[in-house]
Structure 1
Amino acid sequence: MSLFLGKIHYWLYNKIKWFEGIEDELLLLAEKENIDVQLLKNNLDAKYGERLEDKPLEDLIDTSNIHGWLQGRINIAEGRVAMITHEIIEKSEECLTKIYEVYKSQGIKAAKEVKAEKGTINDAGEIYNSINDYILDGMPCDRVNEVISSDNDSISWKRTIDVHEQLFHSERVDVKSFYNMRDEWIKAFVTELNNEFQYVKDSETVMVIRRV
Structure 2
Amino acid sequence: MSAFLGPIHYWLYNKIKLQNNMVEAVILFAENKNVSNDLSSKLDNQYGTIDLRPLEEQIDISNIHGWLQECVSTVEYRLAYAVTTLLKKDSQKKEDSENSSKNLEELKEIFRTLGEKESGLNKDATVSEAYKCLNDTLLDGMPCDHANVLVSQEDHEIVWKRSLCVHERYWSEVGGEINNYYILREEYIKGLLAQANITFEKLDETTSRIAK
> Above 0.5 in TM-score?
yes
Q: Deviations over 1:85-105 (max 9, x none)?
A: 111112731200111111101
Q: Which residue of 2 aligns with 1:104?
A: 112
1:200 counterpart = 2:198: no
What does the per-residue CA deviation read over 1:95-152, in whole Å, with 9 as the maximum and x for residues that have no partner? 00111111101110122x344xxx831x212211111111100011000000000011
For 1:120 and 1:173, the matched residues in 2 are separated by 39
Report SS of the residue matched to 2:59. Answer: coil
Distance across 1 between alignment mates of 2:183 and 2:151: 21
- 2:124 alignment partner in structure 1: 120
Match of 1:187 in 2: 190
1:56 paired residue number: 54
1:114 and 1:65, CA in 2 relative to 1: closer, same or farther beyond 3 A?
A: farther
Change (3 A) 1:95 1:36: closer
1:4 maps to which residue? 4
Structure 1 equivalent of residue 151 of structure 2: 148
Contact 1:33–1:88 (CA<8 Å) still a contact in 2?
no
Within the candidate set 111, 136, 139, 2:139 is matched to 136
| Residues 30 and 39 in structure 2, CA contact (< 8 A), matched pair in contact too | no
Q: Which amino acid aligns with 2:63?
A: N
1:139-174 Cα distance to aligned partner (Å, 9 max, x none): 110000000000110000000001000001112221
Alignment gaps of 5+ in structure 1: none
- Using the size of structure 2 for normalisation, the TM-score is 0.90
For 2:177, the aligned partner's letter is D
The offset of 1:19, in angstroms, is 1.1
Specify the code of the residue in structure 2 equivalent to 1:2: S
Amino acid at match of 2:168: E
What amino acid is the match of 1:96?
L
What is the alpha-carbon distance in structure 1 between the residues aligned to residue 121 and residue 16 of structure 2?
Answer: 17
Using the TM superposition, give the Cα deviation of residue 36 of structure 1 relative to its aligned residue in structure 2, in angstroms.
3.7
Where structure 2 has 5 or more consecutive residues not aligned to the other structure, the ranges are 89-95
Give the counterpart letter for 1:124 in structure 2: V
Q: Shift of residue 191 of structure 1? A: 2.3
Identity, in percent, stands at 37
Partner residue in 2 for 1:34: 34
Q: How many residues align?
A: 202
1:86 paired residue among 56, 73, 84? 84
* RMSD (CA atoms): 1.5
Contact (CA 8 Å) 2:134, 2:189: kept in 1 or not? yes
What is the CA–CA distance in structure 2 between the aligned matches of 1:26 and 1:190, rounded to whole Å?
21
Correspondence for 1:73: 71
Q: Which amino acid aligns with 2:9?
A: H
Give 2:92's aligned residue: none
Instruction: Judge conservation of contact 1:156–1:208 (CA < 8 Å) in 2.
Output: yes
Paired with 1:105 and 1:139, the residues of 2 have a C-alpha distance of 26
Counterpart-to-counterpart distance in 2, 1:51 and 1:35: 23
**Cα deviation 1:47-83 (Å, max 9, x = unaligned):** 111221x311011111111111111101101111111
Tell whether the 8 Å contact from 2:121 to 2:130 is kept in structure 1 after alignment: no
Q: Structure 1 CA distance, aligned partners of 2:60 and 2:124? A: 38
